[in-house]
Every structure is written in C-alpha cells, then in structure tokens.
Amino acid sequence: MKKTILITGGAGFIGSHVVRLFVRQYPEYQIVNLDALTYAGNLENLKDIAQYPNYTFVKADITDEVFIPELFRNYKFDGVIHLAAESHVDRSISDPMAFIRTNVFGTVNLLNAARAAWKEHVEGKRFYHVSTDEVYGALDFDGKLFTEASRYDPHSPYSASKASSDHFVRTYHDTYGMPVVISNCSNNYGANHFPEKLIPLSINNIKNKKPIPIYGKGENVRDWLWVEDHARAIDLIFHRGKSGETYNIGGNNEWTNIDLIRLLCRIMDKKLGRREGESETLITFVKDRSGHDLRYAIDSTKLKTELGWEPSLQFEEGLEKTVDWYLENQDWLERVINGAYRDYYEKQYGHKV
C-alpha cells in the first residue's frame, strides 16, 4: 500500500539505517527524511540511496513552529518515525537546554503538527517515537532487567529529556487519542556511529595509537545491540506494534566497558597486524562521568513473543563487522573528524548547512 512517511533525524547514526531500510524495502512508500544537520547529522551516511525516487531530504529543525505544521499540510503524512534528538549524555551535562529544546519541545511540536493534520482522519495513521532504555535509570548487579513496566528514573539531562518526551507522547495518546507507539532501546553500535561515543571513539584512538579514555573503573555495564537489528525492530513495531503500547528492544548482551574495550583491542590488534596486547596499553582510566548509570539491561520478551523479533548477530561478530567498516571507510571517519562532512550538503544542494 502507498504511504508517505516522515522520518526525523535520518541523517544521524540510527536514523540513517532506518531510512535506508525503509527506502530499499518499501519502494511503494515515499520517505521524507527531515533533519536539521546538527554536528551529528551527516548526509554522507545516505549517499547510496540519495537518488532513489522514493526518497526526499528536507533540511529543517523539528522545533520550528511554522515550518513543521506547513510540512504536514503539504505532505499529508501517513506515519512519522521520530528519531531526531540530541543524543550524547556528556553533551547534555554541559548544555542541558539544547536537549530540552530538541528532545522535549521538538517532540511536542511534531505531535501538535501530526494532531492537527490527522484531525479529520486518524485511522491508519501512526506516530512512532524512538526512545532509549536510559529513561529507566540504573540497575544494580543483581541480574534484574528493564521491562516495559519499569519505573522511569532518569539521571542525566539527556535521559530526563527523553523521559519527558516519552511522557508527552503517551499523554497525546491518552488525552487526544493520537495513534502512538514507543520503543525504548539499549545502546546501539555499528557503521556510521559518530566518534564521540565509546565504540567509534575507541576504534579511532586504537587505530591512531591514542589513549582510550575509560570513565571511572570501566565497571559500568551496557547492553549492546547491532544498529541494523534496531532498524529491523523499528520496521516491525511501526507496521505491527499496537497503538498506545511500548516495546523494549535490547541485545541481551551485557558488557562492562573495560571488557568491551579489551575485546575491541584484541580484534584490532589482529586486523592491524599488531602484536597481541599492544592496543590494550592505550587504555587510560579517566575521571568518571557525573551521575554515571551503573548498569543498563533490557528484557525484550514482549517484542520477541508478540512480534517475533530476534537480534541477528552475536556481539563478537557484530563488533568485528563494525571494526571492518571503520577500517574500510577511513575517509568517512577522517571527514567527520576534520569537519569536511559539513560541506557535503552544500555540494548536493548548493547552499551551506
């Protein structure tokens, strides 16, 4: 069936994988990727599908209260998959307002535009809000997992802003009958991950023999999921998830930061022809992040039993694939680090970001 779908934040890490999946898998859909191209947005991530006839890019800010409703009037979207966000915890500690602006205000602005556009015909419409497991706060080392019923308990300005946006999305369902669905996913890894986050930053530093900064003692635990498995889950939930419901998505794959980095060092020693143990000498323990959540771990039973989703890759295999991607795409990494990726938009569209 023909549909016009708005994907926000499609030039970012996860968004670019979601846009690619939808553009390739659903030629009958028109996919509109709306992204403000902040530092985290990189249209080079989508070079391979930029010319597809069912793909359109719109450079805009989700907080724009004039443009966003106008866009909804022009396109008559059947669905929204909302990923645009400020996403880095460390940045949220130094600049919380940017997170409130985009993650809270921007989300509500999109909800308002969708609500106005779908006033007459809400049947068959869907507003999908992509969120994080960080809204649930921190777990102890007691084997417990976050479920959809876990209490919200955010500890960073990032997670507080995502928690707030989740609440607004649910409120629009309960108050106005908006057909919404939410997913809360664990840490993603894979190609096109911006090198301020642990895995791509470490790959880059190992490659260049620079110190690998590990916060505190490296004992914090994250549950890592391959980004393409997240994109597949989003596809399933968008099409088959129940309106008003929440789905947790996780890799069932818990690693302490230090063990993860040791594994990464071993993989990279092999790939780079270094002697075993050489890259581990780069590990440097640095001051801990304030409010650093000890452990995240997701129970994805609902998604697995109700929608039949399963992660496709074991972590060792996924991490090796990720390292291969970064080594084969060193120009992507260099262009992000030296800022040249910002020129890509100008070359494509004739004016500056």
Q: Which does 353 bind (CB under 5 to 8 A by kind): ligand NAD, ligand TYD, none?
A: none
Rounded Cα distance between 192 and 45, Å, is 7
Say which entry of ligand TYD, ligand NAD, none residue 198 contacts (CB below 5 to 8 A, set by partner kind).
ligand TYD
Cβ-based nearer residue to ligand NAD, 271 or 335: 335
Given the residues 78, 133, 166, 228, select the one marked as catalytic: 133
Contacted entry of ligand NAD, ligand TYD, none for residue 220, CB cut-off 5 to 8 Å set by kind: ligand TYD
241 binds, among ligand NAD, ligand TYD, none (CB under 5 to 8 A by kind): none
Closest approach, Cβ 76 to ligand NAD, in A, equals 20
Cβ atoms within 10 Å, residue 76: 10
80 binds, among ligand TYD, ligand NAD, none (CB under 5 to 8 A by kind): none
Tokens of 221: 């635990």
Binding to ligand NAD in span 183-212, by CB under 6 A: 185, 187-188, 194
Q: Which of 5, 7, 31, 41 binds ligand NAD (CB under 6 A)?
A: 41
What is the residue type of 203? Answer: I
Length of the chain: 353
Identify whether 152 is a catalytic site residue.
no
Closer residue to ligand TYD, CB minimum distance, 220 or 252: 220
Query: Where do contacts with ligand TYD occur on this chain (CB under 6 A)?
Result: 89, 187, 197-198, 201, 213-215, 220, 222, 257, 289
Rounded to whole angstroms, how far apart are CA atoms 40 and 38? Answer: 5
Whichever of 20 and 162 has its CB closer to ligand NAD, that residue is 162
Which of 79, 106, 250, 311 touches ligand NAD by CB under 6 A? 106
Distance CA 224, CA 315 (A): 8
Starting at the edge strand found earlier in the chain, the sheet holding 246-249 runs 55-59, 29-35, 3-8, 79-82, 126-132, 180-185, 246-249
What's the closest the beta carbon of residue 278 comes to ligand NAD, in angstroms?
A: 29
d(CA 218, CA 285): 8
Angle between helical axes of 67-75 and 107-117 (0-180°, round to 10)? 40
Instruction: Assess 32 for contact with ligand NAD (CB under 6 A).
Output: no
Minimum CB separation of residue 221 from ligand TYD in Å reads 8
Tokens describing residue 116: 């106005």
Tokens of 318: 């996924």
Amino acid residing at 70: E
- Residues of this chain, 282-341, that bind ligand NAD according to CB under 6 A: none
Structure tokens at 324: 């291969």
Does 158 qualify as catalytic in the annotation? Answer: yes
Percent helix / strand / coil, the chain, rounded to 5: 45, 20, 35
133 part of the active site: yes
Considering only 71, 130, 145, 206, the residue that binds ligand NAD (CB under 6 A) is 130
Coil, helix or strand for 55?
strand
Contact (CB, 8 A) for 82 and 57: no
- Please give the positions annotated as active site: 133-134, 158
